[in-house]
A = this chain, B = another copy of it.
Amino acid sequence: MRAVIIGTGFMGRVHTENLRRLGNVEVAGIAARTEAQARLFADELSIERAAGDYRGFLADPAIDAVHICTPNAMHFPLAMAALDAGKHVLCEKPLATSVAEAAAMLGRAREKNLANCTFHNLRYYPQVQNMRALCQAGELGDILAVQGTYSQDWLLYDTDWNWRIESGPSRAFADIGTHWCDMVEHITGLRIASLCADIQTFHKTRKKPAGSVETFSAKTALPGEYREVPIDTEDFASMIFRLGDTARGAMTVSQISAGRKNRLFVEIYGTKASVVWNGEKPDELWIGRRNEANGLIVKDPSLLNESARSYADLPGGHSEGYDDTFKQVFRRFYRTVADRNAPVEYPTFADGLRQLRILDGVLQSSRARAWVEVLKD
């Protein structure tokens, strides 16, 4: 199979590298805004074809799939074009900039019967799948409460800058809050039914540097020429919510929490037991119990619930990291590309649409300072 990557940022790089691990999918080309940019990337990563215009790849019948790793606003037009060209599509999250766009994308993918994936890769840490498996097996009982945070610190200072800051109606919640909500709904199988959220832009202006800045590299950027730019995307959000018919929840999303590099922390409490996971130590799972010792599992295939075992490739205590979640998704996505009847074990455009509905609720609730209902799927 042959794939093309669109986007030469951090994500384009990680997709390229980890797609190659499969062995049966070739990274056949890279597309960027300019050919020069694409060529630079291609040379560095040893990709044969590079293009400033992605349309050549879409027209090429040898290409099976397209990975969209661009800024969010481009997801919709690129995905629609790729689907129209009959390509299977993996798209980074958030899937689109509005519910309407996402719904259209989902509709088109279904119409064309093409494999479609919203890249909520964090679901595919072995211990996250293990939480889901424990939950589905009834080992937690009924879910009572869910809480946690997705916290980072790379935008703490007003001198921190990135294209994501300029990208639309939401930033922190769109970029990482949706990961948290997707994970909680994926693990519990329950849907966030209503919510009350409060978003905050602590830095009303930021200092934008003259040149361009790669995601996450803000922290190591050198001082230079800046100009003061007004900011309307949030640095922080807090939310309480109801999950399913009876469960309750609370969470925060932050890009200004000093010392938290990439803390996706999720706690799920049930009537029989609870599970807690921290994305900064992904191989570890804490299991809470009332009448016996709590459990602590260092990732080990033999200790994972059977239905989660295929998500761990390495023996006990051999750490599996962020890149390995890409491999897990790619492996499953391309299995469905090769065999359109294979089971869909990855997040689809429907999941991406779902997160945009929640995001809509968050923004609406925060504006109104009131509880809002979230539409069922």
A75 interface residue, CB < 8 Å from B? no
Q: Which of the listed residues A257, A283, A296 has the most CB atoms from chain B within 10 Å of its own CB?
A: A257
Set of chain B residues within 8 Å of A296, measured between Cβ atoms? 286, 293-296
Whether the pair A250, B248 counts as a contact (CB closer than 8 A) is no
A262 interface residue, CB < 8 Å from B? yes
Whether the pair B145, A258 counts as a contact (CB closer than 8 A) is no
Set of chain B residues within 8 Å of A23, measured between Cβ atoms? 16-17, 20, 27, 45-47
Known: A147-B149, A250-B239, A287-B293. A314 touches B322 (CB 8 A): yes
Q: Interface readout for A270-302 with B: 1 if CB under 8 Å, 0 if not? A: 111110000111111011111111111111111
Q: Which of the listed residues A291, A294, A297, A369 has the most CB atoms from chain B within 10 Å of its own CB?
A: A294
Set of chain B residues within 8 Å of A45, measured between Cβ atoms? 23
Whether the pair A315, B271 counts as a contact (CB closer than 8 A) is no
Q: Which residues of A contact B (CB under 8 A)?
A: 10, 14, 16-18, 20-24, 27, 45-47, 144-145, 147, 149, 152-154, 156-157, 196-198, 200, 202, 215-217, 219-220, 236, 238-240, 242, 246, 248-252, 254, 256-263, 267, 269-274, 279-284, 286-303, 314-324, 327, 369-371
Given contacts A283-B321, A291-B302, 8 further A-B contacts (CB under 8 A): A147-B149, A156-B271, A198-B240, A236-B248, A263-B317, A319-B319, A320-B321, A370-B371
How many angstroms between the C-alpha atoms of A23 and B296 in the bound complex?
Answer: 38
Whether the pair A302, B220 counts as a contact (CB closer than 8 A) is yes
How many angstroms between the C-alpha atoms of A259 and B298 in the bound complex?
Answer: 9
Set of chain B residues within 8 Å of A147, measured between Cβ atoms? 149, 238, 252
How many angstroms between the C-alpha atoms of A299 and B317 in the bound complex?
Answer: 18
Whether the pair A250, B238 counts as a contact (CB closer than 8 A) is yes
Whether the pair B216, A288 counts as a contact (CB closer than 8 A) is no
